[in-house]
Amino acid sequence: MLTLPAFEQAAHKVREVTQETKLIESPHFSEIAGNRVFFKPENMQRTGAYKVRGAYYKISTLSDDERKRGLITASAGNHAQGVAYAAQRYGVPATIVMPATTPYIKVERTKALGAEVVLAGDVYDEAYARALELAEERGLTFVHPFNDLGVATGQGTIAMEIVQELPLVDYILVPIGGGGLATGVSTLAKLLNPHIKVIGVEPAGAACMKASLEAGHVVKLPHVSTIADGTAVQEPGDKIFPYLQQNLDGIITVEDEELIVAFLDMVENHKMIVENSGLLTVAALRHLDFTGKKVVSILSGGNMDVITMSSVVQHGLIQRDRIFTVSVLLPDRPGELVNVAQVIAESKGNVVRLDHNQFVTTNRNAAVELRVTIEAFGTAHKQQIVEALEAKGFRPRLIQAHL
C-alpha cells in the first residue's frame, strides 16, 4: 500500500504509455513568485493529462477476468481518456460516465479511443453514482478516478520523475480534486525526501479537501461551482484521505478569476495551453508565503475546448484592462464620432467595437450614446485614454465590456 517498491513498480510500468515531461524552468513566474519556479508539464502527455499514469497502472494490476468483464469509470474527462487508452492497450471494452457539462473535446477524444461514453448529471459526483449503477447492472470492473490506492500509486510516479530531475526540490504544488494525484505525489515525495513540502491547490468553489482537513474527516460539500471542471468534486476519497492528512503540508485555494489570468500568462510566456484545473498551481504561485526556494508546479492537464479557451481569453483581457468599454453622450450631429475616435487614436488606443444608440433619449439633439470598446496595453494605458477623453469634455463612463 503506497510503498516505495510499489511506486518503483508503477514507475517502470507507466513508461509503456507515457512520454517524458521534462521540467521547464520559468524566469517569468520565478520573478513573480520570488522563488525558482519549474513546471511539470503533464498537459503534454499523450492523453493530454497525467491521468493515464494511474489508470494504466491500476488496470495492469487487475486479473485477466476483471479486465475481460469490461471496465467502467466516472470522470470529468481526463481520467476518462486515461482509462479508455489503457483499455484500448489491453484490448478490453470500457464504459465512461461523464457529467453532461464535460467539455466537448474531452467527450470526443474519449470516444475516439474506443470507449462507450454515457453522459449523466451535472457534476462528477452525479456521474459517479450512475457509473456505480451501471457497474452493478452489467457486472463491470470499476476503476475509481482517485479513491483507489493503486491509481494513486500510478499518479505518484510524477514525484519520482521530479526528484530524479531536481533532487533538491523544496516545494511541490499539486492540484486537488478528489485527492488521488496529491496522495501519490505527497506520499512518494516524503518517502524519497521527508524535507520536501507538498502543497495542495484547490478551486475556492470546490474546496472539499480543505474542508475535510480542517474537520479531521471526509466532508461532502453541498454543491460546487468552478470553471476548473477537472477538480469540481464534492467529496474527497476516504481511502486516500489518511495519507493526505499525514503527508500534505498545506492547502491553497484559488478563485476562478485567478485561473483566467494564469491562462493568459501561460499562453503569453510559455506558449502552452493548460486547462483550468492544471492552472491551479500556476495561480497559487502568487500566494506563496516564502521566497528563495525551488518550487515545482504540476500542470495536470491541457484538455480545453476551443469555446472555453475563447471565453477565458476574452475574460482575461477584460480583467487585465487590455480590453475595456466606455460610454459617452454626444450631440447628434456630424463629426462627433470622428472627434472621439481621434482622441482615442492619439492616445494609442485601438477601437475594436462601436455601438451608436440614437434612441437613448427622446431629445436626440441633446445626446446620443456612443459605446466604444477599446484595446489598451493595461491598466495605466486605460487610465490615460479615459483621462484624454475627459480632457476633451466627453465625460466617459466605464461600463462592463463585452466582446
Query: Which residues are tagged catalytic?
Result: 51, 300
Sheet holding 94-98: strands in order across? 116-119, 94-98, 71-74, 141-142
Largest CA distance in the chain: 83
Do residues 141 and 67 touch, judged by C-beta distance below 8 A? yes
Give, for 399, the enclosing helix (H) or strand (E).
strand 397-399
How many Cβ atoms from other residues are within 10 Å of residue 375's Cβ?
17
Decide the pairing of beta strands 323-330 and 350-357: unpaired
- The alpha-helical segments, DSSP class H, found in 216-356 are 241-247, 256-270, 280-283, 306-319, 336-346
The answer to whether 59 and 87 have CB atoms below 8 angstroms apart is yes
Phi, psi of 298, rounded to the nearest 5 degrees = -85, 120
250-254 vs 197-203, strand pairing mode: parallel
- 379 Cβ contact partners less than 8 Å away, ≥ 6 residues apart: 320, 321
Backbone phi and psi for residue 242, each to the nearest 5 degrees, phi listed first: -60, -35
State how beta strands 171-175 and 294-299 pair: parallel
- Under DSSP, the state recorded for 140 is P
Q: How many CA atoms, within 13 angstroms, populate the side-chain half-sphere of residue 396? A: 25
C-alpha pair distances (Å), 152 with each of 53, 155, 242, 259:
9, 5, 13, 25
CA distance 192 to 330: 69
Written as nine digits, the cell of 28 is: 517569468
355 sits in which H/E element: strand 350-357
